[in-house]
Chain A
Amino acid sequence: MRGSAPPLGRLVPRRAREGERPVGVPLPLRLPALLALALIVLPVLGLFARVDPARLPTLLTGPAALTALGLSVRTALAATLLALLLGGPLAVVLARSRFPGLRFVRGCVLLPLVLPPVVGGLALLYLLGRTGPLGGPLRDWFGLSLPYTTAAVVLAQTFVAMPFLVVSLEGALRAAGTEYERVSATLGAGPWLTFRRVTLPMLLPALGSGLVLTFARALGEFGATITFAGSLRGTTRTLPLAIYTEAQADVDAAVAMSLLLVAIALLVILVARPKAVEGRG
């Protein structure tokens, strides 16, 4: 796929060739680097040490874990799709148009990355809750009530995860420049045709990594979900929420589910190999 997009081939730095001499890293950087790695890896290893291997299969196949896992995967996929349908066009608009206040809008898009998710959840609740300025009319006119529904989970996840997609797509669009799109226009193609035949193919690699990151972030979402959607098995209690609930009473079960989440996260990162994560893209 990557090779089929000639315009981008020029822009992506070539990978370091095998056997190429690496640049030396100074010693004062190596020690903190080691500590940084330890800070990330040791706690996760600690999780593995905490679990009783004999109980693991029972804990992981228990109804609570399976229900939560199923709900998590479904909602995270839905949130990723929603982020693609809404966030994708937003990224194109941000990268390709000029209007006053563009910098401000771009800043707003980054807000969910910086805000604590609980704040996002409260914001959603006060907007879309039954007494909220949007939630009230929705309920009165259409009989729609979002809080406590699976749709609320998807919305909370989209709120928190969509910026990952927007940022990676917008970055790729700006890096690619408008040269090829201009050429396409001079050859007589309209904006829609140019978008489909020129812009979209250039975007595919960034789209892949952006979607993977968005999915991973949605899967791990906790704060916004529990605040906006509540917690009920099968409806709104995703894996992270189930872990929190189990940790109140049965820590072994909570740790087992945590391992499940770690495994899925590793799988997503390693198998899908998002280029943003690997630092070349």
Chain B
Amino acid sequence: MNHARRGGGAVAVLTVLLSLVTGCGAGGSGQRTLTVLAAASLTESFRAIGDEFSRNNPGIDVRFNFQGSSLLAEQIRQGSGGDVFASANEEMMTKVRRADALAGQPRPFATNRLTVVVPPDNPAGVESFADLADPDTSVVVCAPRVPCGSATERVESASGVELSPVSEENDVKDVLHKVVAGEADAGLVYVTDAESAGDEVEVVDFPAADEVTNEYPIAELAASEHPELAERFVEFVRGERGREILDEYGFGAP
């Protein structure tokens, strides 16, 4: 008897807490929120796209979750929700599709390729991709588990140059940060990340990079509560304005 009452109390407290939390999440009646899960490398370009999309569609609030594609794919598989997924490579999108978590077909919307970035004064004098193999040059790359890391491996085999990095980061932005902070002689990042860093890094282009491109697919998620909105967003990204904005940030056409 006593135990039952105690249990009931605990359930009541939890119910109140949960309703508070979910109540806040739902937001106002007129405002609808679209949640887009996107690869870290899309941070700047998708923010710009989201701003313009919200301007064209009043009453719709676009929220982004920018992280490594692998982590996002895993979160979606674990039922994290969200309306749209934009991945930095096909592998991670396929992973989500196999889990039956997609509502629409994945469609390519951009391409990206790797480049070498060095600190502004280029302390190690890196001139080519082969220079990165010098044991005195500290190179930071993405971990093989994440899309920019698997692209790095493909570039290594395409160029025949084997790197021995000092660190393998989980996110392309972490690689960029190490170079910007001057704590590495060189890093392998996407062209678009190099672009976003502006004067803080110098870019060293190399031929093998062109042979390895990542194709970015986008798709609506099955968990979406606004499937029609999700589709509208995907169409906007793939449409003329979306293409223009992505182009501004250095992404190639699919």
Contacts and interface: CB of A to CB of B under 8 A. Distances in A.
Given A31-B6, A147-B183, A231-B143, A247 B13 contact: no
Contacts of A244: 170
B182 A129 contact: yes
Contact of A230 (B9, B71, B74, B169): B169
Which DSSP category, helix, strand, loop or mixed, fits chain A's interface? loop
B164 to A, nearest CB: 9
B70 to A, nearest CB: 4
B71 A247 contact: yes
Given A148-B138, A248-B74, A251-B74, A130 B170 contact: no
Nearest to A233: B168
Nearest to A129: B183
Contact of A236 (B14, B71, B167): B167
Given A31-B10, A230-B140, A248-B146, A130 B182 contact: yes
Contacts of B170: 231, 244-245, 248
B182 A131 contact: yes
A260 interface: no
Given A246-B145, A248-B74, 20 more contacts: A27-B6, A31-B9, A126-B181, A131-B182, A131-B183, A145-B138, A148-B138, A148-B167, A230-B169, A230-B178, A231-B170, A232-B165, A232-B166, A237-B168, A245-B145, A247-B71, A248-B70, A248-B71, A248-B170, A249-B74
Interface in A9-45: 27, 30-31, 34-35
Contacts of A249: 70, 74, 145-146
A125 interface: yes
B217 interface: no
Interface of A: 27, 30-31, 34-35, 125-126, 129-131, 145, 147-148, 229-233, 236-237, 244-251
Contacts of B10: 31, 34-35
Nearest to A230: B167
B168 A232 contact: yes
A106 B43 CA distance: 42
Nearest to A244: B170
B181 A131 contact: yes
B74 A231 contact: no
B252 interface: no
A231 B149 CA distance: 13
26 contacts: A27-B6, A31-B9, A31-B10, A34-B6, A34-B10, A35-B14, A130-B182, A130-B183, A131-B181, A145-B138, A147-B166, A230-B166, A230-B167, A230-B169, A231-B169, A231-B170, A232-B167, A232-B168, A236-B167, A237-B168, A245-B170, A247-B74, A248-B70, A248-B71, A251-B74, A251-B78
Contacts of B71: 247-248
B68 interface: yes
Contacts of A237: 168
A113 B165 CA distance: 32
A251 B77 CA distance: 11
A236 B168 CA distance: 10
Nearest to A30: B6
Contacts of B78: 251
Nearest to B92: A249
A130 B121 CA distance: 14
Given A125-B181, A249-B145, A231 B168 contact: yes
